[in-house]
Amino acid sequence: MKPSQYRRILLKISGEMLAGDQGYGIQNAVLDNLASEITEVVSMNVEVAIVIGGGNIFRGLAATASGMERASADYMGMLATVLNALALQNSLEAKNISTRVLSAIEMRQLAEGYIRRRAIRHLEKKRVVIFAAGTGNPYFTTDTAAALRAMEIGAEVIMKGTKVDGVYDADPVTHPTAKRFNKLSFLTVLNKNLRVMDATAISLCMDNNLPLIVFNLTDPGNIKRVLQGNEVGTLVSKDATES
């Protein structure tokens, strides 16, 4: 097997990915497939950390738009990410992968509290670490949590798994002629408002020179292909030339 070009990664997964074609909740087949993909990555001797969203269960911004107070809605969204993290942990451990869920909100009966050095130590012991509850603060998305945690643990790349095969200049679902980019700079993403991640997350990555790869997570084997250096998805980095 071709070796990985990365030693430690952070995989960002949207909660909507777990819903599959049912549109809400957790679809067991999707969860099992995702766990299998991660298991294959672990077999490549790659240290894996994961940040997972909660949009398949509850979206804080949507609730705010309906009149709910923003901080309360965001905390509810954080709890949704904990549900997803525990579900993913269960699927991984069914495949004999050692995992730890670290929550930014203390809930000792369910998960360990987030401590940076503890997270790094788990990774060094080849455990998959799943970060739950975002940053633990309202007004921040799980995209920002992914950027923050990736930098704290010394990840070499953020891999954002989506339902499309990269970054486009328009929604490819509603715009069939939309252009897909192979490479982009962080500044271009911000200037063109491409919504790869929220602006706070992109700025954090840019300021700390942390590359981001956006790829289609629904295509089996794509995580491994990205790790092996194949041209999959869109690479966003500080000095990339748009192509």
Q: What is the pLDDT along the chain (243 residues), one digit of tens a residue?
A: 678 899 999 999 999 999 988 888 999 999 999 999 999 999 999 999 999 999 999 988 788 888 999 999 999 999 999 999 999 999 999 999 999 999 999 999 999 999 999 999 999 999 999 999 999 999 999 999 999 999 999 999 999 999 889 999 888 888 888 999 999 999 999 999 998 999 999 999 999 999 999 999 999 999 999 999 999 999 999 888 887
Neighbouring CB atoms inside 10 A of 159's CB total 28
Select from 137, 132, 142, 116 the least CA-distant residue to 200.
142
3-state secondary structure of 100: strand
Beta-carbon-side half-sphere exposure of residue 84 (alpha carbons within 13 Å): 36
CB burial string 40-77: b at 16+ within 10 A, e below = bbbebebbbbbbbbbbbbbbbeebbeeeeeeeebbbbb
Cα–Cα distance between 145 and 28 in angstroms, integer?
Answer: 25
Select from 114, 116, 150, 160 the least CA-distant residue to 133.
114
Residue holding tokens 């949507």? 62
Provide the token pair at 95: 């495949």
pLDDT of residue 1: 67
Q: Which amino acid is at 8?
A: R
pLDDT of residue 60: 81
Residue holding tokens 């092996």? 228
List, in order of start, the domains of the chain with CATH numbers. Answer: 8-237 (3.40.1160.10)
> What is the DSSP secondary-structure string of 111-127?
SEEP-HHHHHHHHHTT-
Q: What is this structure's pTM?
A: 0.95
